[in-house]
Structure formats: structure tokens, C-alpha cells
A and B are shown apart, each in its own frame.
Chain A
Amino acid sequence: MTHLSPNWFDIGPLEQIPQRGARVVKTPRRNIAVFRTAGDEVFALENRCPHKGGPLSEGIIHGRKVACPLHNWIIDLDSGSATGADHGCARSFPVKIEKGRVYLEMTVAVTP
């Protein structure tokens, strides 16, 4: 296995993340927020708002967006970009669901 090949880590069953909620995965490099929408899609973003570093995992999730709990910036879960008048981007990471379990691609997740 080369260091470039996909390195999917099983991080747990989907039902461990509440719908319209998020959980945190701690990695040596960073904390990653894994979001689950009302429609059971999952997204992974660095758990830091591009504005003042607020923990996005604690925000209110609506549609495919999350509102940062500190100053209410609205971040797009897919791209990590701030929406509306705000500018900035939270880093996003590959994540997928297979047979009810959530997998995070760890090679990218631990890349500086």
C-alpha cells in the first residue's frame, strides 16, 4: 500500500451521529467534525470555523449547512465555504457511508 492509496478508517456506525447533528473524530493532526444531515448524508470538515475557530460540530445543522455556535457564520457542509456575505473556508475531508458505517479517509485527514 502506498501512502497515496485510499486509507478509509471505519469511525463507527451512522446511528451514532444524530440526524441534523455532528460528532468529532480526533486525529493526531486535527479534530474533524463529521456531520449527518436530516437526509442521512455525511460530511466532514475541520472542526474550526474559518472566522474565529469556533467548533462547527456544535452548530445547528439545517439542510446542508451548519451555523457556527460562536458568531453564527453559516458554513456549507459540502465545500466548507462560508455562505452569504462572509468569506472563508473550513477544510473538508473525504467521508463515506458503507453498510451503515461511516468511513473517513485518513491519509488526507492527517495531511498538514
Chain B
Amino acid sequence: MPVTTHQANRPKLVVVGNGMAAGRVLEELFERRSGAFDVSVYGSEPRVNYNRIMLSPVLAGEKAYEDIIIHGESWYARHGVALHKGETVVSIDRNAKRVTTASGRNEHYDKLLIATGSAPIAIPVHGVDLPGVVTFRDLDDVDAMLGQAEKGGHAVVIGGGLLGLEAAAGLKSKGMAVTVVHLMPTLMERQLDPSAGYLLQKAIERRGIEVLTGTNTQAILGSSKVEAVKLDGGRDIRCDMVVMAVGIRPNARLAKEAGLVVERGVRVDDEMLTSDPDIYAVGECVEHRGQCYGLVAPLFEMAKVVAARLCGDSAARYQGSVVSTKLKVSGIDLFSAGDFTLGDDDDEIILRDPSRGVYKRIVLRDNRLKGAVLYGETEDGPWLFDLLKKETDIAAMRDTLIFGQAYQGGSPLDPTAAVAVLPDDAEICGCNGVCKAAIVSTITEQGLTSLDEVRAQTKASASCGQCTSKVEALIVGALGDTYKGATRKPMCRCTDLTHEEVRGFIVSRSLSSLPAVMQELGWKTSCGCPSCRPALNYYLLCAFPLAYRDDAQSRFVNERVHANIQKDGTFSVVPRMWGGLTTPNELRAIADVADRFSIPTVKVTGGQRIDLLGVKKEDLPAVWAELNRAGLVSGHAYAKGLRTVKTCVGKEWCRFGTQDSTGLGVKLERLLCGSWTPAKVKLAVSGCPRNCAEATVKDIGVICVDSGFDIHIAGAAGLHVRATDLLGHVETEEETLEYVAAILQLYREEAAYLDRLYKWVEKTGLERVRHIITEDHVARKALYERFLVSQRAVRKDPWAERAAGFNAQEFAPLAIVAPIAQLAAE
């Protein structure tokens, strides 16, 4: 093919940038009309156009630079393109229609195409300029990383998005120790929901890469080169290299300096024109309808329109792109497309297969696909993406959509009937590989009558519990109506598992986060409901007291804001009065607060303390600060936790008193306060059997006698009235404290959320509790130790924390629109 030479009569097209977008525009252009333009290309990199999205495989050593070249030198020559490698355009003179490069070269254009791409964002922390901090954007970066990887050492990747994870996996495969630090709680949070993000994190961690989510980088340390990364919370990670992969920013400076309209990127219309009718822009540097793209598919769609427009096709329009993402880390199958962020139960379909690590979620609106996330099994990604882009009406296949393309056309099965007609060798429990025949024969041969027995004997449904309903169907099939499975009460409609089963799995399988529980136990909704979320939050807190991060949005408002909501939306505030004791100073402080904040009602509670009713939410932090100053702390009157320890005056004053009941009450309250429990807990200590503190209708009651202390449990005086049962007798205060804490810990670890202590004792049996607490000394001591450990995490006054500003926005309106602002706007 002859080389096209410069001809004066052809219009001049100058292209600024030689990345994938520019290359694609030229390809499309030459395909439409070869030789229509006299083309010059300026690229800052000293190379031809290569496939940037294949940098990860180059880093991982799966590909070489030569493998990823898109257009070699000969391609430019063949199309008569004047390619200026390593030549950066530094200014555009729109009046003279000329560009100038760094080396002083000058060139006139008729049409200009800006394709300057994007640049990595460097977070503004100290030390970001140190040698050893690299980005992951071009081949030079990859060379730098490979150079360090050869020497080994530790790399910290800042950013757990697509690029960061690909860099991490590449460096790990090259033998480096790697830590990923991600600011958000979920990896790739823009492409994944928390469930898929959880699975991804597990997969990354299985490769030996440390992943720290929800973690902020404070500084990069080192004198002459990178030596460590300092994280919020004080941890330093020693390292030899830092990869900055927190995101990209459109490279729009050149356009901006030329006076073009630039917002986040160079603004283009549907014709891909900038604010100058002779200047087009394409790729990652542009902003179209408020969107900037960092993926390759939109860039190809844009390139098509630019080429068509350059050839005079006035119908070509770019109308934005729906994007899909695939992570290019071998061995991890992950796909996400469209907007999968919907939460409405009616419009999402979820399939979880915990034993295979599969999670699929499809989001629908008006019977059309709006988004999809697939993890573990992604073959149907392109098919779903096609349905999404074409806005296909999926009403007819809605029931089987989640099973994928292969299932379309088959008749949907009723799941109950499906179990009955399954062949004998059909696998019922995927976790433990138990087939139908094994379950049925074990039931009949051993005369099993309950789910628990079947679990114990066959292991079926004993791991993730997802097959519980199938197993129950088999029991019903074998026993008919004699099976009383209906007494099993699932936690809520999000699961078939009971509270006790979920708790058991959380502990036995170390499921340490909400997404972990929901994924591994096959939750039927994506983010739970108001009944399971607070329960799970509590179970996790109880199982992992030091590591679990409380989820404020899974707490009922009272616990979230440390006060009790009232019928008019105001709150009530109850400071702690240890054992019912107070001082003139405390009383004065309470009176002052009531005056200062015009608190309408001050009332003495049934638990020997003072309730300030009708406090406005925005006043809460100031009220607490003032109470704190007098030494008053939260009474947890709002908590599923220890409320009060009611006491009588005891032997200090009372002529019948046998022990210092007030003093013991104070000690108990100091030991137990702050602890989260399944339901509220109230205690009392009476100084003699006359029982003025009413200890025999409390969750735990202590009655002092001459020879020591009687410990009672499981009383109630609310919706139900129930006198306590005597658990046992101890001789010293120290024993009393240990026994009571051990009882509370056993209750914390075993009871279903919202079950009061008496409910739990009725379910588990008084004798069992008595045996563990009073006879099994090893068990009791262990419970006591675990209680003390969990208390370490809550040994702070929540009020003081909030008064000091923790999550202060909780108490302030997002915005106040005052009449003056309204007038100004009109």
C-alpha cells in the first residue's frame, strides 16, 4: 500500500494523545474514509499505542509489552499518520488554530481531537513524593514495579478498586508481601455490593494478601525513600514500595488552559464536540452528561461517534454508556454491570450458594434488567449485559432468570414438589455432600423425629443451613403429620434459620461481619430487615467483642443516639446513679441542665434514678457534656444492656441489714455496665430477706443473708410477672461478682435476641444454668474471663464520646432552609 504523503488540499486533523481512545478514533476513521484527513498524532509516552487494560497481565508476567501493542510503527506509516512519540502538546491557540509542543514544535489544525486520557490521583498525604511511591497507569509504572518486585520486600497498595487489586495480585505473584489499604468498608465498592465484596476480600486474602478495609492512610514515612505507611489508628506498615491506586482524574488541563469548558473533564455534547466547534474530545479526559468513564467500552462507543462526525455523518450521537466490569485477576470470577444498587425486595433476585462461594444478584425495574452482580460464576454476564443494554422485557423468564441462559425455556418447578420427585442420589446438602437417600434411610432406620436429630446423624443442613427447608420436606415425607417442624421459628423472613442456629454458625464458622453472615448463611435479601439486622449486629458484637465494628444503621434509634425516643420525637435522658446513690452536686447539675435546656419533665424512675423527658435531639450532645462535667455518665436506659442495679440501704443504716447491699449494688453496676445483652437487664440487691429492693422480680437478684449472698435469677415484673428461682448461695462479695458476671455472659452468648433472661432460662433449663455456674468451676471462670474481655471494648461513656464530637452529624440537620434563602433563590 502506498504511503500517503502530505497534500495541501486535505484538512488537517491533529490528535493530542496516543492512547487507546485516540487509536480507536483513527481506526474507525480510516475504516470509513481512508485519506480524508492529513493526520498528526502527539503522544507523551515514547511508544506506539498499546492496550492499557492489559497492563495487569504484563505485571503478572502473563504477557510481554510486544503482546499488547495495538498499532505498531508500520500501521502509522501505512495510513500516512505523522506520529510524534514522546512529544507533549503544551498549548492550544484556538484563534490561530495551532498547537505547540514542549520542544517548541508548532502545527496548524483544521480539526483538533483531544484525547489526553486521565492521570492517577495521588492522595494528599505527607510523603507522597518520596521515591518508591508509584502509580499504576503506564508501562513505566509497570517497569518500576517489576524492578522492585525482583528485589522482593513488602508493597502497600493504597486503593482496593479494580486497579489496586490487580496491582496487588500481580505483585504478590512476583513474590512480594502485599497489603491493600482501602478507605471504604467494601472492596471495589463502586462495582460491588457488600456481599460480593466480602467474597472478593476472602478470595484476595486466600492468596496471602493482607486486606485492610475501612482504613485511612495518614502518611507515607521515610527519609530518602519509602520506608513505611502510617495508618489511622497508629499502625505502621514497613514497606519498600507504595502503589497509589485510589482512582483516576481526567487530564483536562490543556483543554482548560485553552479556554474550553471543563468541569470534572472536558465537557462534550452528544456529538463529542467541546465548546469549540472545531475541537472534539474523546476517552477518559471527557465529561459527557455529567459522567466520566474509566473503562474501555464507553471509549470505543465514543470513538465511533467522533469518527462518524469527522466524516460528516450528522446523525451520529453518543448517548452515554452502560458499563460492565470484570476483574482481571486470574482465578477470581467477578462481573458487575449497570446499576445494581436498588434495595427493594420486590425487584431483586438473589442466588447464593455458600458452599461454592457463588453469589448472584439481579436488579429489576418494571421487568427490565437494571443491574447485575455475579461472583464465582460469571458465564451469564454477557447474556445479562445484553438483556440490560437492550432493555429486554424479562417478565416471561423472571422466575428462572437468575439460573442463567441455559435454564430459559424450561418449565419452572415448585420447590416442595421438586424435593419429592428428586432421584435418590440427588445431593440435598451441598456443604456436607449428603444425598436424599442417605437422609431418608437414616430417618426411617433410626426413627429420627426432629431436624436436630437428622443434623446430628447425617450432617445434612448442619453447615450453612440453606438446605433446611429441603431436609424438613424430607422429614415430613417420611413421618407425615407426626413431624412437628412447625415449632421451629425462623429468625425472620430473610432466612429459614432460627436465632440459635444463626448464633451457632456465627461462632463455629467465624462469620465476623454482616455481609459474611448473609452470604454464608444464604440470606434471601441483600441487606436484611429491621428484625434481623439488630439481632445479627448483637450476635457479632458478642462473638467478636474486640474486632467487630458496630453497625450504627443496624441499631434501633435509641441505641444509635444513646437516648430514648418519645412519642413526639423528643428524647429522654437518664444519667447513671450507681446503686441508686446520688450527691447534692449531681442533683444540682441535673437541675441546672433541666433549666438551661427548658426540659419540660423531670421524673424519678422505677430504677432509682432521674429521667429528663422531652429533650430535643439536637440538644443531646450539649446536655450530655454538661452532665459529664458533674461526673454523670450514661445510664444506658435506652439499651439492650444493663439498666439499673436497685438497692436498699443495707447494714450501713438499716437495723435489719445483714450486708452492705448498697455497696455491693454499686460494685455490680460498675462491673456490668456498658455490656450489650440480648434484651434489657435489671438487677437488685436486698440487704435482708425482707427484700426492699424487690430483688425477686429482677433478671438477677441478690439477697443478702447473715451467712453470705443468695443469688436469684429469671425474675420479671413487666409484661409477664415471674418470681426468681434461687440459683445458689455464695459466701463473699467477690464470688457474688464473679457468679453474676458469669450468668450474664452465659445469657449473652446463648439467648436469642430480644429474649429476656427468664425466657432464656425457661428454654435452656434452670438446672443446666445452675450446673454451669455453681458446679462447673472451670466453665464459670471461663465465662467470667470472657465477660471481662468483652467489657474492655465498652469501657467508655458513650455520652462523653458523642459530646466530644463522635459522629456529630447524627444530631444536626443536613440543611436548614430559612425563608431568607428562599427569597434569595427566587
Contacts and interface: CB of A to CB of B under 8 A. Distances in A.
Nearest to A54: B569
Nearest to A71: B567
A99 B265 CA distance: 12
Interface string B245-288: 00000000000000000001000000000000000000000000
Nearest to B551: A20
Interface of A: 1, 3, 7, 9, 11-12, 16-21, 23-28, 31, 34, 37-41, 52-55, 58-65, 67, 69-70, 72, 74, 78, 98-99, 102, 104, 106, 109-110
Contacts of A19: 553
Contacts, number: 123
Contacts of B821: 9
A86 B527 CA distance: 23
B343 A28 contact: no
A72 B530 contact: yes
A46 to B, nearest CB: 13
B193 A16 contact: no
Contact of B557 (A39, A41, A58): A58
A62 B527 contact: yes
Interface in B549-584: 552-554, 556-557, 560-561, 565, 567-569
A59 B557 contact: yes
A39 B817 contact: no
A37 B343 CA distance: 7
Contacts of B553: 18-21, 60-61
Contact of B290 (A17, A25, A74, A99): A99
Contact of A41 (B341, B556, B814): B341
Interface string B807-824: 001000111111101100
Interface string B511-534: 000000000000001111110011
A25 B342 contact: no
B822 A28 contact: yes
Interface residues of B, number: 43
Contact of B345 (A54, A59, A63, A69): A63
8 closest residue pairs by CB, A with B: A39-B341, A23-B814, A63-B343, A64-B344, A67-B530, A58-B557, A11-B815, A60-B530
Contact of A12 (B342, B527, B560, B815): B815
B817 A27 contact: yes
A21 B528 CA distance: 14
24 contacts: A11-B817, A12-B814, A18-B552, A20-B527, A20-B553, A21-B553, A23-B809, A26-B815, A38-B194, A38-B526, A39-B193, A39-B342, A39-B343, A41-B342, A41-B343, A54-B569, A55-B565, A58-B565, A60-B533, A62-B528, A63-B344, A65-B345, A67-B530, A78-B344
A69 B826 contact: no
A70 B527 contact: no
Contact of A55 (B526, B560, B569, B815): B569
A35 to B, nearest CB: 10
Interface in B320-352: 339-345, 348
A9 B342 contact: no
A18 B1 CA distance: 62
Contacts of A28: 817-819, 822
B553 to A, nearest CB: 4
Nearest to B814: A23
A72 B345 CA distance: 18
Given A23-B809, A69-B565, A62 B814 contact: no
A37 B290 CA distance: 22
B315 interface: no
Nearest to B815: A11
B63 to A, nearest CB: 36
A110 B818 CA distance: 11
A64 B342 CA distance: 7
Contact of B534 (A16, A34, A60, A110): A60
A59 B553 CA distance: 9
B96 interface: no
Contacts of A24: 813-814
A88 B341 CA distance: 27
A62 B529 contact: yes
A75 B71 CA distance: 57
A69 B557 contact: yes
A67 B344 CA distance: 14
Contacts of B340: 39
